[in-house]
Amino acid sequence: GDSVTQMEGPVTLSEEAFLTINCTYTATGYPSLFWYVQYPGEGLQLLLKATKADDKGSNKGFEATYRKETTSFHLEKGSVQVSDSAVYFCALPYSGGSNYKLTFGKGTLLTVNP
C-alpha cells in the first residue's frame, strides 16, 4: 500500500545551519505531497505542499521538491533558527473511495540551539 518513510532523528543543529530531512514515498499514481510542522504543545500545521512532479513547495524559508524519479520529497532550509525547533511530518494522501486520507511519516524532531 501507499507509505511514507522519513528520517526519524532526532536532529540537533546550531542556528544558521543547513537542514535536510529526508522523505521517500511509495504510491499508486502521482498524489500531492505535504510537509506538516508541529510546534511544542500544538497541533499540526501545514508547512508546504506540492501537487505534481517537479513542483517545489515553499514556505517560511523551507523548500521541498517533488521528485518522481527518486520518489522523494526532502525538506530543506538554508539557515535554521531556534524558532524552527519542532517535529516535522511528511504526509501522503491515499484514496479511500471518493475521499482522501493521509498517511504520515513517524516524524522528525528538530532542535536548533543558539
Partner 1 sequence: DVKVTQSSRYLVKRTGEKVFLECVQDMDHENMFWYRQDPGLGLRLIYFSYDVKMKEKGDIPEGYSVSREKKERFSLILESASTNQTSMYLCASSSPGTSNQPQHFGDGTRLSIL
| Ranges within 1-60 binding partner 1 (CB under 8 A) | 31-32, 34, 36, 41-46, 49, 51
Dist. CA 61–CA 59, nearest whole Å: 5
In angstroms, what is the minimal distance from the CB of 65 to partner 1? 16
Given 61, 79, 100, 113, the residue binding partner 1 (CB under 8 A): 100
C-alpha cell at 75: 525538506
Residue 7 CB burial class (10 angstroms; 0-12, 13-18, ≥19): middle
In angstroms, what is the minimal distance from the CB of 52 to partner 1? 9
